[in-house]
Structure 1
Amino acid sequence: MEDFSEYIPAHEQGIQCLQGLFFNNPSNKAKKLFNYPLWTGEYLVDYPYLIDRQYMNSFIVFLIEDGELSFTFDDRHDFTARKDSVVIMDCKKRNHYFAKSPCKFIFFHFNGEQVQALYDYITQDNHNLFPATKTIKQNINQIFNLFKTRAFSEKEASFSELIYQLLVSLTTIADLSPTDHSILRHTPSMVTQALNYLDQHYSEKVTVTDLCKQLGVSSSLLSQTFRTYTNNSVHEYLTSVRVLHAKGLLTTQPDLSIAEIANCCGFHDTSHLNKVFNSETGMTPSKFRKICF
């Protein structure tokens, strides 16, 4: 069994371990071929909880279940992760995180041959904080619950697949930078309301006219203001959101047909999805699914 004790402070303050810690000793096969977990837990923390780690050969994911946790990572800007957000970091670089108020979260350390390339893609815009979609939350909880079975040697392939699915889901979110509404603090409420409406109703038939009626503004004002603050037209943004969700279903729901995914994501039919998806990604949905699986 690998010894992780040097990475875990002996006397952590401001911490209550709700579940765990659960440790895994990956096999040589897993280290060579798979994505593999190292350890996990569920914490409830409060001030003065603080971790300042200079180096560890692993990656870490946090799912913030309640409250907020503050981070300083590498040479990137400080940020605060709040409820229903996910954080991913490369622990080979200095990572510092702390609580100013109560926060509940699940975390797990992991590694693997494929992880660095996926991590670099996910964080290429210096973002380590992302919204925790329903799919991502389910995925992290599946990994956590699998840890609790302690059946590591029998479940190495399952762990690897779940970690890969999580990372692919994060790449699809990273592809759509406008969904990071935290950068829009000073944006007119008209635009943030429009973004929120499109995020929630992407699966429906949505027109600019419908959106303007919802917001009580003119089409010309919304179109001009929306492009100014998002660098996208309403249609471009809606298309990106639909493609994002299509990618998520393609990579996490192998039993869904292309036609079903088209219907779930607001496309007219399979032909419409194929045309838009190929224009956005350079490949058909079927080819994208084959690459991911």
Structure 2
Amino acid sequence: MNKVFFTKYTEQNLKLPFVLYSLGLNHRQEYINRPSGLPFFQWIQAIKGSGVLEIDTKQYVVEEGSGMLFFPNVGHKYYGVSKEWIVHFMCFTGYGTKDLFENIGIKQSGIYKLTDIEKVEQYMEELFFIYSLDSRMEMYDFSRVLYEILLEIVKSTSLLNEKSLLNQNKKVHLVMDYINEHFKEPIMLSELAKMAGLSKEYLCQLFKKMNGFSIFDYITDVRLAHAKILLINDRNEKIKNISRWCGYEDVSYFGMVFKKKEGMTPAKFRELH
């Protein structure tokens, strides 16, 4: 069940070392674009599904078990790429927050991997329970539990930004290598996504962002490159056989794709070369 609340804070509350602004549990995350960020810290924890974070002109995948930490006034954009992206989130501030992050060496926004997800989720549930009590002392209890959450995040996180980017590059190259080796066979997007450990939607986005062309364009280019070699080197071979050897069971479809890409039929290409 989606649970969201915003706290009633005062000038007195802002003197606390850790101050909670808002909390959301099991929130179905929508598309967010904040060019200037927000004036406080944010922690957004992926519970189900996956999304994409765009920050500092770079793009990263946010998977279950990881979270996005945003420092105040840092521009960012994030959105789901799976059918459903469910997150917990909290917005917070306080002089203790900045000191805690600085002392531990956390100096930038980014994606962080949790090693004890359940413990952090339990603390966030406790925050909601405190809110439900509607106590006059709730801000002090919020501060106490928020401190426990931040300690847990600090203890169990590792920054994923550069590692994640390198890992994404490896996944795209893995897919490209597979296409180069298996172009003669039927290639399903679902199989490529499973092999890369990504959703179909995110794999397509990532592949095009890194290469400038789509997965389907790449499959076609690889197949036609091999077809052109065979057309030139095996002049007596039937075009329908070359079509089949390059992953096209339907020779008519092969001819249509070839002409669209090369501006001529396979037979004409062979004649000119």
TM-score when scaled to structure 1? 0.48
Of 44, 56, 62, which residue of structure 2 is paired with 1:81? Answer: 62
Q: In the alignment, what sits opposite 2:33? A: 52
Does the Cα contact within 8 Å between 1:136 and 1:169 map onto a contact in 2?
yes
Matching residue's letter, 1:116: K
Alpha-carbon offset, residue 97 of structure 1: 0.9
Of 151, 159, 172, which residue of structure 1 is paired with 2:142? Answer: 159
150 and 56 in structure 1: CA distance in 2 versus 1, 3 angstrom threshold: farther
Give SS of 1:78's match: strand
83 and 55 in structure 1: CA distance in 2 versus 1, 3 angstrom threshold: closer
RMSD: 3.0
Does the Cα contact within 8 Å between 2:115 and 2:156 map onto a contact in 1?
no
Of 112, 123, 137, which residue of structure 1 is paired with 2:106? Answer: 123
Matching residue's letter, 2:127: I
| Alpha-carbon separation, structure 2, partners of 1:86 and 1:97 | 12
164 and 172 in structure 1: CA distance in 2 versus 1, 3 angstrom threshold: same
Give SS of 2:8's match: coil
Matching residue's letter, 1:115: T
| Alpha-carbon separation, structure 1, partners of 2:115 and 2:68 | 9
132 and 97 in structure 1: CA distance in 2 versus 1, 3 angstrom threshold: farther
Does the Cα contact within 8 Å between 2:65 and 2:113 map onto a contact in 1?
no
56 and 80 in structure 1: CA distance in 2 versus 1, 3 angstrom threshold: same
Does the Cα contact within 8 Å between 1:76 and 1:126 map onto a contact in 2?
no
Does the Cα contact within 8 Å between 1:24 and 1:152 map onto a contact in 2?
no
Matching of residues 185-224 of structure 1 within 5 Å:
185=167
1:89-147 CA-partner distances (Å, limit 9, x unpaired): 11411121111221111111111111123234453476532225132222222223333
Q: In the alignment, what sits opposite 1:114? A: 96
Does the Cα contact within 8 Å between 2:111 and 2:159 map onto a contact in 1?
no
Q: In the alignment, what sits opposite 2:15? A: 32
| Alpha-carbon separation, structure 2, partners of 1:183 and 1:96 | 17
Matching residue's letter, 1:161: R
Q: Are positions 1:71 and 2:53 aligned together?
A: yes
1:1-22 CA-partner distances (Å, limit 9, x unpaired): xxxxxxxxxxxxxxxxx52431
| Alpha-carbon separation, structure 1, partners of 2:134 and 2:18 | 16
| Alpha-carbon separation, structure 2, partners of 1:24 and 1:85 | 25
Matching of residues 143-182 of structure 1 within 5 Å:
143-147=127-131, 149=132, 151=134, 153-174=136-157
Matching of residues 272-287 of structure 1 within 5 Å:
none
Does the Cα contact within 8 Å between 1:122 and 1:170 map onto a contact in 2?
no
Instruction: Percent identity, please.
Output: 15
| Alpha-carbon separation, structure 2, partners of 1:36 and 1:66 | 27
Alignment gaps of 5+ in structure 2: 169-273
169 and 41 in structure 1: CA distance in 2 versus 1, 3 angstrom threshold: closer
Matching residue's letter, 1:55: G
Alpha-carbon offset, residue 84 of structure 1: 2.2
